[in-house]
Chains A and B, each alone.
Chain A
Amino acid sequence: MEIVNKLLDKSALSALIERLSKSGKEVYAPVKENGITDFAKVDTIDKIDFDCITTIQSAKSLVFPRVENILSYKKTSEDIVVKNVDITAFPEVVALGTRPCDAAGFIPLDAIFCTDNADEIFNARLKKLTVISISCKKADEYCFCTSVNGNPGNTTGSDILFTEISDSTYFAEIVSEKGKAILDTNTDLFKDTAAIDKTPHLAEVKQEFTAEAINEKLNTLFESDIWDKQSMRCVGCGACAYVCPACGCFDIQDENKGNKGIRHRCWDSCGFGLFTLHTSGHNPREKQSQRWRQRIFHKFSYQPVQQKQFGCVGCGRCSRACPADMNIAEHLKEIAVN
């Protein structure tokens, strides 16, 4: 669909949020609580933190919850009844105030869950999600979207992208049919405009390398001491994977209570030693450096082959969350110039 350009007053945004919420949609937006900004359910504009560079957690849990049921079961003396997940009961969700990197993160996730065997549960959530992003006017030292094919005003993955062009006005780009549906039911809130050059209103994020360069370098870097060197301080906590908008690895576990229970899937990480441990005790990736290498190779070498997508959007969350202060952008730059 060709992008439709509109203007939206900030006061109209307030009305839009209330209308979406009243229409039965669940609206999630960055909310600051106890000094931490994360996505939370809102029904008015008041609580939204528009100033944060990124939330601590990405928006991926809206389509790939940290823990979610994949089935439930009940045992009787001679039978086991398995109940499917009711995907029709999933709510319509609007993610509001995602950053362009968050929105771009839905693309590699979609590729993981929908290549070959489409994952019905993930698909159902994605189908019911509308992404209304806001361009970045600020960036920090961890941001590197421009080095991985993104930018602070990128529309990829968003249904609508707002860019603040004055204290009172957003430039709105209606990107997809889902975005158009929201425009069509709220036309009174939007004003017509010609296309606007967003550049003066966007944060500057210097391009330090390219994803393609990393991809090429990795062809000859599997056996390199760079992995030991870079991961020396990695404690294997997996925080990087948990906050990553593009990490889709998961575990499947049963939770039993008496004669019934649920089977759930939950986030997992290639950074954990148990991730690949065989029952026999053999572990194909027994050292942390091998697991760090897997993380980089998966995102920049394997995913482009398996799913035609890079697995990194340059949000910098992993670096912000790392308790050992590993900076992925610095490490990637080192790989690119190696």
Chain B
Amino acid sequence: MENKNIYVPYKMKIEKVTEEAPFVKTFRLKFMNDEDAEKFDFRTGQFGEYSVYGEGESTFCIASAPTRKGYIECTFREAGRVTKALANLGEDDIIGFRGPYGNIFPIDEWKGKNLLFIAGGIALPPMRSVIWNCLDLRENFKDVTILYGARSVADLVYKHELKEWEERPDVKLVTTVDPGGETPEWNGKVGFVPTVLSEIAPSSENTIAIVCGPPIMIKYTFPVLEKLGFTDENIFTTLENRMKCGFGKCGRCNVGKVFVCKDGPVFTLKQMKELPAEY
């Protein structure tokens, strides 16, 4: 009998654990049931509910790209009850996963355009999925610029991948840390993301900006983008309201006439401006 209980998660095995930064880990997850693996499909921008039985569920994006088949990855910071329990797990442990939920980054519509990714701190994971998705389809896009900032050098996640992006001739990577967060060896920039963005002043011509970060970073980044000439339709972000169900029933991610889980999490600045600022 087909299982139609929408609250029952897939069973996933933790295949690999990567320590990204203090209290930040990435899990590579594999479906334990081959049929589930076969049926499962997602697109970049979507998220899921990850569960530790006995502790509960936690919401994060799928941090891997749909072009990388056979597994999904999630990156999380130890912060609450569930993420602390997740952090205590290791390779071969079993967790639950429900998803994929939500809408997507419309990368098909971005063909032939320049892409400007702007991320802060632990908000690189949702961006990483779309970055890799676009880099795996590199010929579809023109210039790719990634601006990534964190509080300190230690807080930068995906250090190995940052290096990979830095070395790619077809990617322009700019990394920055907040003033005081630098180390003697640091050769990136020092300054807050919005400030560094005005400094490097990328052209808005034929360019899509994708912004992801803490509310305070987002708040100061949008005006800089507007100054650079980006229109509201060409600025994308992904919202992270508190969620439980993931499909528009439990009520907590309701903002105005939308549910972040069902109608988002990806929104353009134009769409965000039509919502009450309850995110």
Contact = CB atoms under 8 A, between A and B. Distances in A.
A276 B252 contact: yes
Given A70-B7, A284-B255, A294-B254, A252 B57 contact: yes
A16 to B, nearest CB: 34
Contacts of A297: 256
Given A75-B53, A112-B251, A284-B279, 13 more contacts: A82-B11, A84-B8, A115-B248, A120-B6, A250-B250, A251-B250, A252-B57, A253-B56, A256-B55, A263-B7, A276-B253, A276-B278, A297-B256
A302 interface: yes
26 contacts: A71-B5, A71-B7, A73-B53, A73-B54, A80-B96, A84-B5, A116-B262, A117-B6, A117-B248, A120-B4, A121-B5, A248-B249, A249-B252, A250-B251, A252-B57, A252-B250, A256-B53, A278-B242, A284-B241, A284-B278, A285-B278, A294-B254, A294-B278, A297-B256, A298-B254, A301-B257
B247 interface: yes
A199 B83 CA distance: 59
Interface string B150-186: 0000000000000000000000000000000000000
Given A82-B9, A84-B3, A116-B262, A249 B56 contact: no
Interface string A290-327: 10001001100110011000000000000000000000
Interface in A240-259: 248-254, 256
Interface in A100-135: 112-113, 115-121
Given A121-B5, A254-B53, A249 B251 contact: yes
Q: Could you tell me the dominant secondary structure of chain A's interface residues? A: mixed
A250 B249 contact: yes
Interface in A9-55: none
B56 to A, nearest CB: 5
A41 B7 CA distance: 29
A254 B55 contact: yes
B249 A277 contact: no
A290 B256 CA distance: 12
Contacts of A280: 79, 214
A261 B6 contact: no
Nearest to B80: A279
Contacts of A250: 244-245, 249-251
B127 interface: no
B106 interface: no
A140 to B, nearest CB: 29
B94 interface: yes
B270 to A, nearest CB: 18
A263 B215 CA distance: 32
Contact of B276 (A119, A222, A253, A282): A222
3 closest pairs, A vs B, by CB?
A249-B251, A256-B54, A284-B278
B249 A119 contact: yes
Which of the listed residues A80, A270, A290 has the most CB atoms from chain B within 10 Å of its own CB? A80
B240 interface: yes
A85 interface: yes
A49 B227 CA distance: 68
Given A73-B53, A263-B7, A290-B278, A113 B249 contact: yes
B247 A252 contact: no
A145 B9 CA distance: 41
